[in-house]
Amino acid sequence: MFTVVIAGSYLLLLLISIFLDPKRKRAAKKFSIFQLLLFSTLKMLLVIGVVVAFAFIYKIDMPGTLGLSVLSVSRQSLGFGALTALGFIVIYVIWQLVALRFVAKREDTRDADSGIMGSLPSRWFPLVGVFAVISLQAGILEEIFFRGIMQSHISCYLEAHWAAVITGILFGVAHFYQGLSGIAGTSIMGVWLGLSFAFTGNILVPILGHVLGDFSCMMLGARSIVDRRKIKSDRDGDTHVGGV
């Protein structure tokens, strides 16, 4: 029964992402970065909440359900978290090069300024703040759901490394709004995070790896984002002046 609940929660996540998520590139309305972050947070809290509610009603071990029973803070876990983040960054850089060479050219790039990219601030300080919030939100909530809940449950039926692979792929599919290259790249990163959890048995490791990795990867592209947003702002300003 618990397997059905977890599968249903994941399906709910996909349905919300497909039909309601404002991060979709072709969303009819443009949303502020605050609205995008709020929606993403509530979406993840909802699917986690479904699992938590079931565990509470049927008196299932709550920390174990969320993967938090295997959370421990130590120098070793912090070190493994940093190594996981480093691997995350390496995978990101390699995949970006691969996508740029073989995948990105096949995808429609006309919506580069839509979705979350079109809502990012154009100044450094607010941009870094947004990156920090995105990293914390995704790193904590996504790891609790995908690694803490899903992978832990799947590993009850399969070997730990296969549970990491399956969960990583499901993690990538949940990021479908990033396009085919995004799904593939995020799946690989998801498998890496899952393997770090399987190897250490400590949910803090993939959380740290995800938070630090996400933030570092976004900072790698910060200059490009600031320049692109500035060019777009200048272009919009010129158009407005011309219209007057």
Q: Name the band, by pLDDT with cuts 50, 70 and 90, for residue 24.
A: low
Burial class (CB in 10 A: 0-12, 13-18, 19+), 194: buried
Number of domains the chain is built from: 1
What's this model's pTM, rounded to 2 decimal places?
0.88
The pLDDT of residue 243:
45
129-136: long-range contacts (C-beta < 8 A, 24 or more apart)?
Answer: 130/33, 130/37, 131/214, 131/215, 131/218, 131/219, 131/222, 132/215, 133/37, 134/37, 134/214, 134/218, 135/210, 135/211, 135/212, 135/214, 135/215, 135/218, 136/211
92-150 tens-digit pLDDT: 999 988 877 776 555 544 444 455 766 788 788 889 999 999 999 999 999 999 999 99
Q: Cβ(52)–Cβ(62) under 8 Å?
A: yes
The pLDDT of residue 201:
93
The pLDDT of residue 110:
43
The pLDDT of residue 112:
44
Give the domain range for residue 140.
Answer: 2-243
201-236 tens-digit pLDDT: 999 999 999 999 999 999 998 877 777 666 555 555
Q: Is the pLDDT of residue 183 over 60?
A: yes
Return the higher-pLDDT residue of 167 and 27.
Answer: 167
